[in-house]
Chain A
């Protein structure tokens, strides 16, 4: 610690030396090739050496007695914490020297690459009277060394904390260094890798030789940004896919080493594989659908795309877009919104329809309606997205065409139905008139009856088909209906159809006051059941018993229609309702009658099924049970 006695020193009364010491010190002070400055605690420059004056081109009287912050930093007040890290305050506070790192901020005319140290100068009372500042320029080597030391710190941070694997190799392929992430990927300890040969090491990790050689093939990856996909088995036996970017390190065109940066893309590859399989399953739809469709992974990278979507964006081949981010197809303004929407779909499993501005190679920018939904695996884990794009004009066109086709078909069906009914009227009336006459033999009457029956069958068939079509189109509406009215109409029709056949219908419906959710077609359902009860009955008197009750929760009426007909074996009890599904006519089928009955009951929100009138003995007749929603 320097200690200065006050003495006569020209303008510096604080410095006192004997003549010899003073000269020596002055010589040393002024001949040093470092900048020296003496500043008091009021920031006033008390002394500087000649080297200092030479560096800045000042004259002594321009700076002695002036504030240091004004001269050196051109400020009107002392430097704060945010400015040049002035050691003056610290030196006065602590009484200890302070050393600053090589300066990287430019001071007035000061070169960077210098070291600054400050030393306290004590008075006789032991208090710090002055600060002596010393600035030493670093040689290029020293500067670089210091910079490198700083850079090394930064590099170590990057290397060790990186999310990607980094490995350094010498020219012969021996591993010089490897970062923790890479070790984690390989599931190896450091000693298993460092100083080991790349080829030997990765052979044990089951990398194929082509990939190994590609890593060292400088022609492939000479700064052309090409990546290599590695497939390895790590030490734990887990199969991994890694995207590797190897690069040589050159000095004067000589390869002095290599580094490899790898990214674990195993999850992405597996997802793509599953998505690819998913696409394979829906391939037919994918290829034949007229709207644009694409499958992406969870990051929005395109895994598969169909022809209409490619045409929409002006791509000639899948390679132009598969593997790239779908967000790139959107205009800059909509990309952020689309990304947010994607996150919503991913984390909230929302199906999303939105309009975005997109970029096409052929059409430029235009608005597109896009519908997307989350694809999940069988365990419910999200895999990716299915995206359907709709070009408004084309989609509307297709929809319009479909609507027109549907209308035309409905018209044809309607016309055919009407005309067949009309033709049948002639056949039925003529046949009946024939039967009423006395001119025919029994055999002839039999043939006429056959004709009559077939004509009626045709009519029923056409009627049922039309009604089924109406049900499927959603054209039939349901509302509250009086159950007795429906039964009454059906019974009336039955009696008219079989005026010569004794039919006994037992019921208590007239006083029931039951309202159900239904449609007038229910009359047809009841008539159908009655008709079957008469048609398939060998008894002299046809007996039909109708009963009704509320189910436990009182939301449904259960209506039971029991007959004394042939009955139905169990094997036919279900299939009799599915005329089309069974693929063949069952023995007692009346055509579509019961199929239509089932559809009508279903439309009303109910159910219909058959049981035996006498349990386990179908030959005693059937019990048709219909459940229909109650209306209070």
Chain B
């Protein structure tokens, strides 16, 4: 079982992430709907979530900015970058994301990707 923190501005996707992660026995320990909220919540969170599912295009701060900031403060965080914006893939990986998933992904692809990370 692993703990996940969901960061995405689409509420419906939060629900779906909950459901699909639960399918595999994992838990969603927190969520945020924009970059600033994410920083605020994660800065003070104890314990840290094992994995963060991070969207890119969000209000206030985008995923890349948030990820760079978070990794400076907590370099141990493991961030899975998920975005419909494929042009951001290389920058996300270079900035420290452990994986990049392109939206829309099917369940198979999602679970296969998690298994590659030994999740």
* Interface residues of A, Cβ cutoff 8 Å to B: 417-422, 424-430, 432-433, 436, 455-456, 459, 493, 496-497, 499
Least CB distance, B84 to chain A, in whole angstroms: 3
| A418-B85, A436-B23 known; A424+B16 contact, CB < 8 A | no
Is B103 a contact of A425 with CB atoms below 8 Å?
A: yes
Cα distance A425–B102 in the bound complex, in angstroms: 10
Interface residues of B in 1-42 (CB under 8 A from A): 10, 12-13, 16, 19-20, 23
Cα distance A422–B57 in the bound complex, in angstroms: 10
Is B16 a contact of A499 with CB atoms below 8 Å?
A: no
Most buried by A among B13, B57, B106: B106
Question: Which residues of A have CB within 8 Å of B12?
Answer: 426
Cα distance A496–B101 in the bound complex, in angstroms: 13
| A421-B104, A459-B104, A496-B112 known; A426+B57 contact, CB < 8 A | no
Question: Which residues of B have CB within 8 Å of A425?
Answer: 10, 13, 16, 84, 103-105
Q: List 23 A-B contacts (CB under 8 A).
A: A417-B84, A418-B57, A418-B85, A421-B102, A422-B13, A422-B84, A422-B103, A425-B10, A425-B84, A425-B103, A429-B13, A429-B20, A430-B16, A432-B107, A433-B16, A433-B19, A433-B20, A433-B107, A436-B23, A436-B107, A456-B104, A456-B106, A499-B108
Q: Could you say which of B10, B102, B106, B109 contacts A426, with CB atoms under 8 Å apart?
A: B10
Cα distance A428–B57 in the bound complex, in angstroms: 20
Cα distance A460–B111 in the bound complex, in angstroms: 21
Question: Which residues of B have CB within 8 Å of A427?
Answer: 104
Least CB distance, A82 to chain B, in whole angstroms: 88
Cα distance A435–B99 in the bound complex, in angstroms: 27
Cα distance A426–B14 in the bound complex, in angstroms: 10
Cα distance A421–B82 in the bound complex, in angstroms: 11
* Interface residues of B, Cβ cutoff 8 Å to A: 10, 12-13, 16, 19-20, 23, 57, 84-85, 102-109, 112
Is A422 a contact of B10 with CB atoms below 8 Å?
A: yes
Least CB distance, B109 to chain A, in whole angstroms: 5
Question: Which residues of A have CB within 8 Å of B104?
Answer: 421-422, 424-425, 427-429, 455-456, 459
Is A418 a contact of B84 with CB atoms below 8 Å?
A: yes
Cα distance A496–B102 in the bound complex, in angstroms: 14
Across the interface, name the chain A residue whose C-beta is closest to B16: A429
Cα distance A419–B104 in the bound complex, in angstroms: 11
Question: Which residues of B have CB within 8 Å of A433?
Answer: 16, 19-20, 23, 107
> Other CB < 8 Å A-B pairs besides A496-B106, A496-B108, A499-B108, 9 of them?
A419-B84, A421-B102, A422-B84, A425-B16, A426-B16, A428-B106, A432-B106, A433-B16, A496-B112
| A426-B12, A426-B16, A433-B16 known; A421+B103 contact, CB < 8 A | yes
Across the interface, name the chain A residue whose C-beta is closest to B109: A496
| A418-B57, A422-B84, A433-B19 known; A497+B106 contact, CB < 8 A | yes
Cα distance A116–B49 in the bound complex, in angstroms: 129
Cα distance A427–B104 in the bound complex, in angstroms: 9
Least CB distance, A283 to chain B, in whole angstroms: 43
Q: Which 5 A-B pairs have the closest CB atoms?
A: A421-B84, A425-B104, A424-B104, A429-B16, A432-B107
Cα distance A425–B10 in the bound complex, in angstroms: 10
Is A429 a contact of B10 with CB atoms below 8 Å?
A: no
Least CB distance, B7 to chain A, in whole angstroms: 14
Across the interface, name the chain B residue whose C-beta is closest to A425: B104
Cα distance A456–B103 in the bound complex, in angstroms: 11
Question: Which residues of B have CB within 8 Å of A420?
Answer: 84
Question: Which residues of A have CB within 8 Å of B106?
Answer: 428, 432, 456, 496-497
Question: Which residues of A have CB within 8 Å of B112?
Answer: 496
| A426-B16, A433-B16 known; A497+B108 contact, CB < 8 A | yes
Least CB distance, A445 to chain B, in whole angstroms: 15
Cα distance A517–B86 in the bound complex, in angstroms: 22
Q: Could you say which of A417, A418, A422, A429 contacts B107, with CB atoms under 8 Å apart?
A: A429
Cα distance A427–B13 in the bound complex, in angstroms: 10
Cα distance A455–B107 in the bound complex, in angstroms: 14
Question: Which residues of A have CB within 8 Å of B84?
Answer: 417-422, 425
Cα distance A459–B19 in the bound complex, in angstroms: 22
Question: Which residues of A have CB within 8 Å of B20?
Answer: 429, 433
Cα distance A123–B114 in the bound complex, in angstroms: 139
Across the interface, name the chain A residue whose C-beta is closest to B87: A414
Across the interface, name the chain B residue whose C-beta is closest to A418: B84
